């Protein structure tokens, strides 16, 4: 790829201001080999040139599309042509843009119907909402049978039952995040009660290892616990890496007693 002509580079503080990505995150990207600085000045400060900015843009696009940092690193390593990759990213973004536009229009129609006393059309209310978006990942991790069983279970629920399940998951995530923020010991009775609730919640999903046998399989629970920290999408559910680390440590402690 031919870079745009420039004799300018930017400091880490300038990049943070331009992108909204914190200096700490940029340093972490450097530490894991995802975005090294273009050069380091005599004063030890990191500097980033145009090529680095293009790479950072690609990282942020892939992150917003749901990829974990290891997956982003793999994607960047596999791509020889940055310009062609940007075209691919743009197509993916426009696909997501269209999906979000459909969701927004769907919600807007629901609001209009509720405000004006019109009829709600079920087939219109969920346009753009796709519960199958993680299908490939589930099948890769736990097999096609696991996804199929979970899909039958979810689609067999009434909307009210689905809402109860979502609220249960949201309440559990809030309780985890609050306990982490208070500095609760992962091995404490309070954290272990959260871990028990978490295991009970997981065991309610058909197709998961251990379903119907008194709780999730130990290996499955440990694998999920580690994934909460290793995958930023899941870590965000628990307030970030620190919160997810608390969840992981509590689940590991719980699993040790299984």
Q: What is the pLDDT of residues 15-53, one digit of tens each?
A: 998 888 889 999 999 999 999 999 998 888 999 998 899
Percent of the residues in the chain that have a pLDDT greater than 70, as a whole number:
67
Q: Answer for the pair 96, 61: CB distance below 8 angstroms, yes or no.
A: no
User: Where in the chain are the domains?
Assistant: 10-78, 133-256
Task: Tell me: pLDDT of 159 over 70.
Answer: no
Higher pLDDT, 150 or 201: 201
What's the pLDDT at 191?
A: 94
What's the pLDDT at 125?
A: 47
Among 4-13, 16-25, 56-65, 145-154, top mean pLDDT goes to 16-25
Query: To the nearest 5 percent, what fractions of the chain are helix, strand and coil?
Result: 70, 5, 30
- Give the CA distances from residue 105 to residues 100, 163, 185, in Å, rounded to whole numbers and listed in that order: 9, 21, 45
Strand arrangement of the beta sheet that strand 46-48 belongs to: 10-11, 46-48, 39-40
**CATH of span 10-78:** 1.10.1660.10
Rounded distance between C-alpha atoms, residue 23 and residue 210, angstroms: 42
- Give the CA distances from residue 244 to residues 3, 184, 190, 234, in Å, rounded to whole numbers and listed in that order: 39, 13, 16, 8
Q: What is the pLDDT of residues 248-258, one digit of tens each?
A: 999 999 999 87
């Amino acid at each position: 790829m031919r870079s745009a002509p420039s004799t300018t580079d930017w400091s880490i503080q300038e990049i943070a201001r331009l992108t909204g990505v914190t200096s700490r995150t940029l340093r972490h990207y450097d530490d894991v080999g995802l975005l090294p600085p273009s050069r380091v000045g005599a004063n030890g400060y990191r500097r980033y040139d145009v090529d680095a900015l293009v790479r950072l843009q690609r990282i942020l696009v892939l992150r917003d599309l749901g990829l974990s940092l290891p997956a982003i690193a793999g994607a960047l390593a596999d791509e020889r042509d940055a310009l062609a990759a940007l075209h691919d990213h743009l197509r993916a973004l426009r696909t997501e843009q269209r999906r979000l536009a459909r969701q927004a229009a769907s919600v807007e129609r629901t609001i209009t119907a509720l405000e004006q006393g019109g009829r709600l059309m079920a087939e219109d209310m969920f346009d753009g909402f796709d519960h199958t978006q993680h299908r490939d990942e589930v099948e890769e991790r736990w097999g096609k049978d696991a996804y199929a069983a979970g899909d039958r279970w979810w689609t067999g629920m009434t909307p009210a039952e689905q809402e109860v399940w979502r609220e249960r998951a949201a309440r559990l995530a809030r309780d985890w995040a609050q306990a982490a923020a208070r500095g609760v010991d992962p091995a404490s009775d309070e954290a272990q009660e959260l871990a028990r609730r978490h295991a009970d919640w997981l065991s309610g999903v058909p197709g998961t290892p251990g379903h119907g046998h008194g709780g999730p399989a130990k290996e499955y629970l440990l694998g999920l616990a580690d994934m909460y920290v290793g995958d930023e999408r899941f870590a965000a559910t628990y307030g970030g890496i620190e919160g997810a680390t608390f969840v992981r440590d509590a689940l590991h402690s719980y699993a040790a007693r299984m």
